[in-house]
Structure 1
Amino acid sequence: MPRVSVVLPCYNGARFLRASLDSVLAQTFPDWELIIVDDCSTDGSGEIADEYATRDARIRVVHNSVNRKLPGALNDGFAIARGAYFTWTSDDNVAKPNWLSTLVQYLDNHPGTDMVSACMDFINEDGNTIGKLHRSPDVEYQSRLAYECNIGAAFMYRRETAARVGKYDENMFCAEDYDYWVRIGLGGKIDYICDNIYMYRRNSGSLTATQQERIWAKTLAIKKKIQRPMVAKVRTELVAKEKAGIPGTKSVLQI
């Protein structure tokens, strides 16, 4: 069985799909499977996916008969995933060669961590770097989920974590990722590392660009629901750390 299952949901992403697929094939960590979920594309994306599947036995393609939207496509992919670690990527983003190796190594070395997130670049439609997502890993990182979706597109979580949390909520289209990270965070541990291992494309045709109103509405609903339980959970953990004499926690508790 592969160590890592990567799901790539795709809907009319032919323009950038090859670059995304090539970046997975270029990974220095070889023990992965890629499950491409073609969600009723009409631009040839499905044919591109099939082409890559004939080139590498680690790639499988699911062709949906109806459009399931992003959370549904993710659920379809992870339903057949066989790996110990799960992640997903997008048809317009590009992973750096050390993407999988970095995340796998961290989870291997930190058995108490449910999910890890990392730094990434922002690129434009031409592939030029236009910014970076970088946060300092500190004891407040997980509590910030109550106020913002502070996990970028470079992440990995455990199969057992997915079994505990369940499926992506198909009613949370456009905020299914934030909702899922919150559910992981409320019952588990999320860490952040500063390694820059991924490139997120600012694409005028992406969901982020075309569904802003829906994203904001769903995000606000999540924040209202989880701020109190998330902050209470993190505060309880910080009190325990302070009692154990772990440096740096008392100042955070006083904020």
Structure 2
Amino acid sequence: MPKVSIITPSYDCSNYISDTIDSVLFQTCTDWEMIIVDDCSSDNSVSVIKSYMEKDSRVKLIQLEENLGAAVTRNKAIEVAQGRYIAFLDSDDLWEPEKLETQLSFMQKSDIAFSFSAYHKIDEEGIDIGTVSVPENVSYHQLLKCCVIGCLTAMYDTHKIGKVYMPLIRKRQDFGLWLRILKKCGIAYGIAQPLAKYRVRKDSISSNKLNAALYNWKLYREVENLTLLQALYYFSHYAINGVLRTLR
């Protein structure tokens, strides 16, 4: 059994998927499987992925017959994952070579169930445009105020909390998953060292700030079932933190 299962949803990312897979192949930790779920791509993403599968059996592919969104695709990968640890990497993002080794060592030494790290931001050409730092730790109620966990850095231990799946919403499903995990383990622990590179794309779902805010509200009310007053309280923190981030 692989130690880590890497969950990668893919949709029309033929321009980036090679770099993403390469960043996994270059890991100093080699005990992993990469489960790529293609969400009915219209480009040649599948052909690119299959070319890697022919070279390395640790790269695996699930093809969906219709477009179902990131939550469903990630959940399908989690369902078949065989690794003790579940990690996430989208098909246009990258990992630093020591990402898995560093994070596994951090979690095992301190007996941690859920961790995340700082990361770099890059543009569509791969040029560095900044670094996102993280706190030493975060609780459920703290995370409700501001999601400080980047999906490309998150990892959890299924031996400690079992498999945890994403809520079936179109956006902010990763935020919903972190909240579900924190209900089980209490605290997520941050690694100050940047271990990944998040690609900022103009056409990405997360680039639409208004839609992201609306789905944040939907998450509070319909997934977390917060009261109106609770939702308003946490949403005000979310909005303020968003403004502060744009001013940095």
Match of residue 191, structure 2, among 177, 190, 193 = 193
Letter in 1 for 2:124: E
Runs of 4+ in 1 over 6 A off after TM superposition: none
Letter in 1 for 2:120: D
Cα displacement (A) at 1:144: 2.1
What is the aligned-residue identity percentage? 25
In the alignment of these two chains, the number of paired residues is 223
Q: How high is the TM-score relative to the length of structure 1?
A: 0.82
Inter-partner Cα distance in structure 1 for 2:209 and 2:105? 35
Structure 1: stretches of 5+ with no match in the other structure = 232-255
8 Å CA contact retained: 2:113, 2:161: no
Inter-partner Cα distance in structure 1 for 2:56 and 2:123? 29
Cα displacement (A) at 1:55: 0.8
Cα displacement (A) at 1:38: 0.8
Inter-partner Cα distance in structure 2 for 1:222 and 1:17? 29
Which residue of structure 1 lines up, in the alignment, with residue 214 of structure 2?
217
1:122 aligns with 2:121: yes
Letter in 2 for 1:61: L
Which residue of structure 2 lines up, in the alignment, with residue 60 of structure 1?
60
Which residue of structure 2 lines up, in the alignment, with residue 237 of structure 1?
none
8 Å CA contact retained: 2:161, 2:184: no
8 Å CA contact retained: 2:39, 2:68: yes
Q: CA RMSD in A?
A: 1.9
Structure 2: stretches of 5+ with no match in the other structure = 231-248
Which residue of structure 1 lines up, in the alignment, with residue 80 of structure 2?
80
Which residue of structure 1 lines up, in the alignment, with residue 177 of structure 2?
180
Cα displacement (A) at 1:227: 7.2
Q: How high is the TM-score relative to the length of structure 2?
A: 0.84
8 Å CA contact retained: 1:103, 1:155: no
Structure of greater Rg: 1
Residues 161 and 13 from structure 1, CA distance in 2 versus in 1: closer, same or farther, beyond 3 angstroms?
Answer: farther
1:144 aligns with 2:142: yes
Within 5 A, what are the aligned runs for 1:149-168? Answer: 149-152=147-150, 153-160=152-159, 163=162, 166-168=164-166
8 Å CA contact retained: 1:146, 1:226: no
SS in 2 for 1:191: strand
8 Å CA contact retained: 2:37, 2:62: yes
Residues 183 and 216 from structure 1, CA distance in 2 versus in 1: closer, same or farther, beyond 3 angstroms?
Answer: same
8 Å CA contact retained: 1:175, 1:215: yes
Give CA deviations for 1:90-141 in whole Å, capped at 9, x if unaligned. Answer: 1111111011111111121122x22101010001111111111113415xx3
Inter-partner Cα distance in structure 1 for 2:60 and 2:218? 35
